[in-house]
A = this chain, B = another copy of it.
Amino acid sequence: MRRPDARPLYVQVEAILNDRIVSGSWKSGQAIPAEPELAAELGVSAGTLRRALAGLERRHLIERRQGRGTYVAQQTSQQALGQFFRVRNLAGRPVEPETLITGITTGPASEEEARRLRLAPGEAVHRIDRSRVFEGEPRIAERISLPAAFFPNLLLPLAPKQLGTEIYVHYRNAHGIIVVQAEENLSATAATEADSAVLGCPVGTPLLLIERVTFDAAGRPVELRVSRLDTRAHRYAVEIA
């Protein structure tokens, strides 16, 4: 007979540890047990455990510091920005966005929202409309759609204050949702009147349209974000390795 679980041991261990983080039994920022101790608890060798930890580190779920210990990653605004925010100025430097919330609503999912977020048609979603301001100029108009089931009524009361900064930090701290991956589809589109009003560009200006679906550590889609970027003074940077 074969092993009950054919996956390599280090993969299984990684899944176990991933679960501990996702389920919240290891909390954000907390130190996890030392390697020898953890290896003993799980009944695997130190090497196997280290291989599993390397996987978690690659996905930014933990941070390892030689001499100090290993910690469940604390999603800071800085990190979330570096990890997910790809807008640069013309000199190639990252920009520090400010945020202006322009509206928050809740309603049934549109066809596209349901499809991208894998929801049943008509399921409730929260929508946040906001603009992002770089160096004093509004450059992005975006709408964020969230499955209401994942973000129960908590959302609305907080409003602009928490949602102004990088929103993923808020997801994590308030809802225990750990964002680890995103898929984006880019295209070009012409500025509508609404875009023009928000971004201060002429109607018809070519904009970079970014459609992002974000996934949590359990692989569930947790956010649909449609951004319209005015590229007259900024670029979207991609590294291909």
Contacts and interface: CB of A to CB of B under 8 A. Distances in A.
Interface string A78-114: 0000011010100010000000000000000000000
Given A187-B208, A187-B231, A207-B206, A238 B238 contact: yes
Nearest to A235: B185
Nearest to A228: B188
A237 B185 contact: yes
Interface string A122-154: 000000000000000000000000000000000
A144 to B, nearest CB: 16
Interface string A174-187: 00000011111111
A183 B186 CA distance: 16
A10 interface: no
A59 B88 CA distance: 25
A188 B231 contact: yes
A240 interface: yes
Count class of interface residues, chain A? 20 to 34
A197 B92 CA distance: 32
A163 interface: no
A188 B207 contact: yes
Contacts of A207: 188, 206
Contacts of A6: none
A239 B188 contact: no
A236 B184 CA distance: 8
Interface of A: 59, 83-84, 86, 88, 92, 180-190, 204, 206-209, 229, 231, 234-241
16 contacts: A84-B240, A92-B185, A180-B241, A183-B237, A185-B235, A185-B237, A185-B238, A186-B208, A187-B236, A188-B208, A188-B209, A188-B229, A188-B231, A190-B206, A206-B206, A238-B238
